[in-house]
Chains A and B, each alone.
Chain A
Amino acid sequence: MVYYYRVLTIAASLILTFVATSLFFDFVASDDLDALDLFRVGLLAITSFGISLGATLAFTGLFVPDRKRPPSAEPASSRRTAILVPIYNEDPVATFSRVSAMHQSLEATGAAQNFHFVILSDTRDETIAEDEERWFLRMVEESGQDGRMFYRRRSVNHGRKAGNVADFVRRSGGHYDFLLILDADSLMDGETIVEMARRMEADPKLGLLQTLPKVINAKSWFGRSMQFASWFFAPSFARGLAAVQGSYGTFWGHNAMLRTEAFAACCGLPKLSGKPPFGGDILSHDYVEAALLARGGWRLRLDTDLEGSFEEAPDDLMAYAKRDRRWCQGNLQHTRLLFSPGFSPWARFSLVQGIMAYLASPLWLAFLVTSLMAPIFATDPVYFPEPGMLFPRFPHVDTTKALILLATVAALLVLPRLLILARVSGKASDRGFSSAAAVAGSTIVEVLWSSVMAPIMLLFQSRAVFQIVTGADGGWPVSNRDEGVSATEAWAGSWWMSVVGILALGVTVAFSPDLLPWLLPVGVPMMLAPIVIYLSSTPASGRAGRRLGLFVTPVERRAPSVVRQFRGVLGRWRGEPVLPDALDETAGPVRAEADVVG
């Protein structure tokens, strides 16, 4: 069945790519074909394959049956699981509030005795490290569980996060059957954790079980749009991905359970020869670890039916771009590993997909630039190509084909979302959304908002690729989700986009005014990037969206207990009142206070 899905998905993607490319070929060939045109055709072929693949995965996800396994009646696993929380200069209060909430949630299952929390600190900032120790001790004291909570800090950060986890496995792995790997901002429900261990125990060849984490606690317009996408669209995309991947599932580096024996045997990562950005520590280690587990004969599974898996995400475009820069470097580094021995063809294809996710941006940019250049370098039309012709032959530009091409590309981007809306809107209330109308409105606004963000991300990613291929190492930046962005920071980080946008529109007006309507949707968001970035990052923008009923997710309407517990602990530890979500029908200061530890 997996091969059927794979062949279908890739064949459909290739057909769509062929259609888009041949439409464009006909369009550019209609008024003489030159080398630049052929280059543009090549660029479009590569980039449209990426879009087609994304669209077909979503289609597959829509048609794959949504198999929800009932909660298992089996007793909880008797195996021991280490819940690993690697941290690196993050806010300890927020991190340990999450751990505390997960601990409470596990306690409520009655199966907590086999689950140990292990904080693996790689923090370099001594002040933060002192805070980590203080808050860890407080957490242990309040929970009364000093036998199931551990903390250690490395003096040397060999191998970054992957090295941090490997260090734990080498020292303590023998004590645990399974490892639940989290990020500092991960939050998982106790029942989900127990169920994961149960599924790992039930399938002895299962090396990795990945959940689909959904975004929570977004505050800004930008963050809430991402949060909505993760709740509404991502499950369909993930179901498609899971169907196509089969037992070669994916690993996203967190909110996933690993079999310790498999991980230890297969996932000791070497340093790559040479210097960063392409040498040194492997940054996007999760993809490589997935390929290594598969090479070792272990199964990997993405179980999209597992609820109760959450994460936080950057709340503004600047922070998002910063994280993306790190992922970009990691994925481009995979060019070194495409021919690693023993990797399955699908593993290599997955690595290529990850690389193309970032190379697509500079390729689209090159396509735009060459499309602007094409009229400048076009040869003068020959009105009398044959001697003795009485009437001139005027060049014919096939605008209809250009419009069909535009409609095809737009459909590939938008149609999956609209189909998800069509399928899910009828069950919107059952799934925790407010109404079909609300999700329809949110989907339309999300599509429009994505088209505003796309040119900005195109420039961020193109710059990142350029920096990396020219040898700039992005280092190991701290992921701080709480900061937000000021107008000055937005301007400092994106003024150059305004320059690019103004230049692009100026050149178009001067040399190819006919192209202006086509370029406006790209050029205007670039020109306004600092304003877009700033306004979409403010909490006020998020509140405005909520007042309009936009991007409202189930977690905002009725937060799961583990999320409420987290908010309760965090509010109490910070000495702040725990404000309920405006739309949350259950949360409130009293309830949150009642949910605190201890």
Chain B
Amino acid sequence: MRHDVSNPDALETIDAHSSGAASIEAFAPPRAPMAMPVQVLEVSWSERLGLASLFAPLAARR
């Protein structure tokens, strides 16, 4: 089995202690999901200067 990165649920939860089988699939790391939010690194200059919020009412009116 190859792990499908686009679908975390597709990963089998395998207890490596009890596997006993010499198969690579038995050695998947233990499943214990942790949130890892994507960080904001790029902010446009219009947002920095507050221009985005300045024009927000106009955009909302449309």
Contact = CB atoms under 8 A, between A and B. Distances in A.
Interface of A: 82, 116, 118, 133, 136-137, 140-141, 146-147, 149-156, 158, 166-176, 260, 263-270, 272-273, 288, 292, 336-337, 339-341
Contacts of B22: 137, 141
Contacts, number: 117
A140 to B, nearest CB: 7
Contact of A150 (B8, B28, B48): B28
A152 B28 contact: yes
Contacts of B62: none
A174 B13 CA distance: 14
B21 to A, nearest CB: 10
Contacts of B8: 170-171
Given A147-B17, A152-B3, A288 B29 contact: no
B16 A269 contact: no
Contacts of A292: 39
Contacts of A171: 8, 11, 29, 31-33
B20 to A, nearest CB: 8
A174 B33 CA distance: 6
A174 B27 contact: no
A273 B4 contact: no
B43 interface: yes
Given A146-B27, A174-B33, A288 B2 contact: no
Nearest to A120: B29
B24 interface: yes
Contact of A140 (B27, B38, B39, B42): B27
B19 to A, nearest CB: 7
A153 B29 contact: no
Given A146-B19, A151-B24, A174-B34, A273 B5 contact: no
Contacts of A341: 40-41, 43, 48
A337 B29 CA distance: 33
29 contacts: A118-B29, A137-B22, A147-B16, A150-B16, A153-B2, A154-B2, A155-B2, A156-B4, A158-B5, A167-B5, A170-B34, A171-B29, A172-B33, A172-B34, A175-B30, A176-B32, A267-B39, A268-B36, A268-B39, A269-B41, A270-B39, A270-B40, A272-B41, A337-B41, A337-B42, A339-B43, A339-B48, A340-B42, A341-B40
* Chain B interface, >50% SS class: loop
B56 interface: no
Contacts of A266: 39
Nearest to B41: A340
A103 to B, nearest CB: 14
Select the residue from A118, A147, A263 with max chain B CB neighbours within 10 A. Answer: A147
B37 interface: yes
Contact of A173 (B17, B26, B33, B37): B33
A513 B43 CA distance: 53
B34 A152 contact: no
B49 interface: no
A152 B29 contact: yes
A174 B30 CA distance: 9
B35 interface: yes
Contact of B38 (A156, A270, A340): A270
Q: Which 10 A-B pairs have the closest CB atoms?
A: A173-B34, A174-B32, A175-B32, A150-B29, A172-B29, A268-B36, A268-B38, A133-B24, A155-B2, A174-B34
B6 A156 contact: yes
B32 A155 contact: no
Given A137-B22, A268-B38, A288-B41, A155 B27 contact: no
B36 A169 contact: yes
A295 to B, nearest CB: 8
B27 A150 contact: yes
Nearest to A119: B27
Contacts of A169: 34, 36
A203 B8 CA distance: 33
A116 B17 CA distance: 13
Contact of A155 (B4, B28, B29, B43): B4
Contacts of A166: 36
A170 B33 contact: yes
Contacts of B3: 152-155
B48 to A, nearest CB: 8
A424 B15 CA distance: 52
